[in-house]
Structure 1
Amino acid sequence: MTTTSPCDSDADRSLFRRAGAAYFVIAFIARLPFAMIVVGVLTLAVEARGSVSLAGLTSAAVGVGTACFGPLLGAAADRFGQRPVLLVLAAGNAAALVLLTVVAYAAVPDAVLLLSAFAVGATAPQVAPLSRSRLVTLIMERMPETGRARTLSSTLSYESAADETVFVFGPFVVGALASLLGPAAPLLIGAALSLLSVGAFALHPSASWISVHRRADGGAASSVSELFRSRLLVVVFGIFGVGLLFGTVLTALTAFMADRGEADAAGLLYGVMGIGSAIFALGIAALPQAFSLRLRWLVFAGILLGGTLILLTVNDVGGMILALGVMGIGIGPTLVTQFGFGTAASPAGRSATVMTMLGSSVIVGQAVGSALTGVVAEQAGTSVALLLPIAAAASIVAAGIVNVSLNPRTHSHRHRPQRDR
């Protein structure tokens, strides 16, 4: 499978020129604080409170905060523009991360720790979904129709690969900083990065793309009820399943390595899945259009399920690496395909809202998976915890099957986002 980037074809190079090289650098770095949060919170809570189950619940609280406020922040970006929303979030999230770090070591009830984690999730800057929203708007509103579908596919592939890369790099950075400077360092450095990089993302000229179009066109956004149509909800559930997989795999892997006295190496092994995911996410843009989106979801989710089934036979680190490698082949292309369906099902004027719904689903799924697996690993053992990724992968396949019935065959091979009116 070959790889592509947002600048491989003439149309893609046009997108790269229009957005500017600085945009892709800033948007990539601005993702990193969010990628560090879940693992950073997990690491800090284990060290400060000495409980894997509490650490999982703390990560889950981050996810609940994201679930409650992520889509609302996307709706605010659609209504008021991305820049003011992101500037407030950059400062608010930095403050919340510092607060959580202080509370973790303070002699306060666990409930205070969970509330602090909730605040971190509630203020988490939605850089990845808002970046998708910006680029999709640029492609659909300011680029020639010729080559638009190809550019959109390449861009969504790049965006998913960028997410995967930072979510691989994030745990590695957390592990390195925690080892060198202590478990509080990742969140404190993440706070500084959130303030600086998310601030830069907010101030980039691209933040005005969506708001400029809406002022010029003068129309109102679609009704909120259109966000609850089955074609979109099945994608939300499918992406939730991906997040669930991330959370169950990471926490089960941590328990697996902890049993061998090498818990600190879990983040590095987790990177095996993420690296493969990023590579294959990029490569999906090179697949022929005859390989429909509906079929891609089923095929790559099936590969993902196959990778999780290998966990039933894993007895050593080598077997775990094999399982993670196979999962990596399936996860990236599945995510790209799901975002393609989400883009196509976006109601007019609700691009940022939909993208934050999808992005929040990943984080919520990851947090729920982490919390559930932490409890199972602590009470029933690692071998039982390793069954949970299989259930998560099965939910992704099930959502893909439902998606087939909701999307006509004639429309399954191309992205058709609706114009903001």
Structure 2
Amino acid sequence: MTQTHASVPSPPTRPASLLRQAGLPYFLIAFVARLPFAMMVVGVLTLVVSARGSLSLGGLTSAAVGIGTACFGPLLGAAADRFGQRPVLVLLAVTNSVALIVFTLVVYGSAADPYVLLAAAGIGATAPQVAPMSRSRLVTIINERMPEPHRARTLSATMAYESAADETVFVFGPFLVGIAASWIAPWAPLVGAAVLTIVFVGAFALHPSGRHVSDERGSDGRAPSAPAELFRPQLLVVVTGIFGVGLFFGATLTALTAFMADRGEPEQAGLLYGVMGIGSALLALGVAWLPPRFSLHARWLVFSGILLLGSLLLATVSSVAGMVAVLAVMGIGIGPTLVTQYSFGAARSPLGRSATVMTMLGSGVIVGQSIGAAVTGEIAQSVGTSAALMVPAAAAAIVFVCGALNGVACRAPWRSR
């Protein structure tokens, strides 16, 4: 008698996680490689105020860094899409390190102020935007190597991690600048940033993932989408919204500095700002666990509404304890809003132009931060702290309005990735 045995199907194998596919060293290198970018604006301001004795010139040089980033950041992203990130980032690691050293020498030298501004713009123009490049790499890995059912959840978790890393670095970066400037010399933060750029941005460029060019690109490196798709309303509303977040960052830190200066402790502003930054980073990580039925559009409206509410309370604060409480409320709103905006940016990137879109978003944050700081500083000096504390609410209103307009954009047709 012949006995037949039914074959037992092997259990389905789970796809490798993004952590395993990219590798733990990738995330460590990418995190530290962000620090120089977070140190530049504050480091430039600190050095100019110390060496030239002009707060006005310091503010202008910080704005010049932002202008340089705005003009060249998206172009560098387009070059990374076209030729791959590795050659672009290797070139930027070298040129930006040189630009930081040159700026330091120009400030301490006898060069006229316009040359100081030109050197500051050179720092921004050559800034290696590691955060947008990292987002682009990880989005490419998710879209090309992971099964369709796992992509949405993985993408949400990735954007949450990236935003939390940004928040942590942008709190820790200015802290490092203050420590280095106080313990060593005002030039130390920029020299340190130059060293970090060569070592860690170079390592980020040479990581194996830096060789990859999106499969969406043709054999000649051309994208299947037209450049005009970068200027469609569905994407521009996201860029404008994240520009509002940058305005909020710059306005809040400057207004907080004026608030603490009125109490004779301006150096404590960074510590209070960290309350918002740390809370924001923690909430950004929590976005990955929100239920899918809580849509991205709804998240933008809800969390930017919390941000706007907290910002409106700023003008009513009269004590440090009250300020800490309000900053904690704003931290609840800012992190998840930023995660949501980057998620929309990833979803609406024209085919083959992921790095371009991510650098557009990253540049929007930096430009907004520079403009917000400059405008709020001028208002604080000419009108007063109370008026300066109202500027973050105006920035938060821009974010909220863009969230409402995004609802219209969600209903418009868009070429799916």
TM-score (norm 2): 0.93
Q: CA deviation at 1:316?
A: 2.4
Stretch deviating more after TM superposition (344-353 or 321-330): 321-330
* Structure 2: tracts of 5 or more residues without a match: 1-13
AA in 1 matched with 2:140: T
AA in 1 matched with 2:106: V
**3-state SS of paired residue (2:245):** helix
Equivalence map 1:107-186=2 (5 Å): 107-186=110-189
Stretch deviating more after TM superposition (377-386 or 83-92): 377-386
- Cα-to-partner distance string for 1:199-234 (whole Å, 9 max, x where unaligned): 000000001222576466976341110100000000
CA contact (8 A) 1:42 1:55 kept: yes
- Cα-to-partner distance string for 1:81-105 (whole Å, 9 max, x where unaligned): 1001001100111111112222223
CA distance in 2, matches of 1:330, 1:90: 34
Which of 44, 48, 59 in structure 2 is aligned with 1:45?
48
1:302 aligned partner? 305
CA distance in 2, matches of 1:250, 1:163: 16
AA in 2 matched with 1:258: A
* Structure 1: tracts of 5 or more residues without a match: 1-9
**3-state SS of paired residue (2:149):** coil
1:81 aligned partner? 84
Asked whether 1:321 is paired with 2:324, we answer yes
Asked whether 1:280 is paired with 2:283, we answer yes
- Cα-to-partner distance string for 1:38-97 (whole Å, 9 max, x where unaligned): 121222222223333322221111100000000000000011110010011001111111
CA distance in 1, matches of 2:302, 2:373: 26
Task: Rate the CA distance shift 1:322–1:51 in 2: closer, same or farther, 3 A.
Answer: farther
Task: Rate the CA distance shift 1:41–1:375 in 2: closer, same or farther, 3 A.
Answer: same
CA distance in 2, matches of 1:309, 1:101: 39
1:246 aligned partner? 249
CA distance in 2, matches of 1:47, 1:156: 38
Report percent identity of matched pairs: 66
Stretch deviating more after TM superposition (193-202 or 167-176): 167-176
Which of 62, 68, 71 in structure 1 is aligned with 2:71?
68
CA distance in 1, matches of 2:117, 2:38: 19
CA contact (8 A) 1:96 1:119 kept: yes
Q: CA deviation at 1:142?
A: 1.1
CA distance in 2, matches of 1:136, 1:389: 31
Stretch deviating more after TM superposition (24-33 or 316-325): 316-325
CA distance in 1, matches of 2:85, 2:181: 33
Asked whether 1:332 is paired with 2:328, we answer no
Asked whether 1:196 is paired with 2:199, we answer yes
Equivalence map 1:344-363=2 (5 Å): 344-363=347-366
Q: CA deviation at 1:25?
A: 0.3
AA in 1 matched with 2:151: R
AA in 2 matched with 1:233: L
Asked whether 1:375 is paired with 2:378, we answer yes
Asked whether 1:33 is paired with 2:23, we answer no
CA distance in 2, matches of 1:383, 1:47: 27
CA contact (8 A) 1:344 1:417 kept: no
CA contact (8 A) 1:171 1:268 kept: no
Q: CA deviation at 1:239?
A: 0.2
AA in 2 matched with 1:403: N
CA contact (8 A) 2:216 2:351 kept: no
CA contact (8 A) 2:240 2:402 kept: yes
Asked whether 1:220 is paired with 2:223, we answer yes
Which of 15, 18, 26 in structure 2 is aligned with 1:15?
18
How many pairs are equivalent? 404
Please say which structure displays the higher CA radius of gyration: 2
CA contact (8 A) 1:44 1:183 kept: yes
What is the root-mean-square deviation of aligned Cα atoms in Å? 1.9
CA distance in 2, matches of 1:28, 1:230: 32
CA distance in 2, matches of 1:50, 1:320: 30
TM-score (norm 1): 0.92
Q: CA deviation at 1:23?
A: 0.3
2:210 aligned partner? 207
Task: Rate the CA distance shift 1:179–1:218 in 2: closer, same or farther, 3 A.
Answer: closer
CA distance in 2, matches of 1:52, 1:335: 30
Q: Which runs of 4+ in 1 moved over 3 A?
A: 211-221, 416-419
Stretch deviating more after TM superposition (397-406 or 373-382): 373-382
Task: Rate the CA distance shift 1:346–1:212 in 2: closer, same or farther, 3 A.
Answer: closer
- Cα-to-partner distance string for 1:235-255 (whole Å, 9 max, x where unaligned): 000000000001111111122
**3-state SS of paired residue (1:328):** helix
Stretch deviating more after TM superposition (58-67 or 306-315): 306-315
Which of 293, 314, 317 in structure 2 is aligned with 1:290?
293
2:266 aligned partner? 263
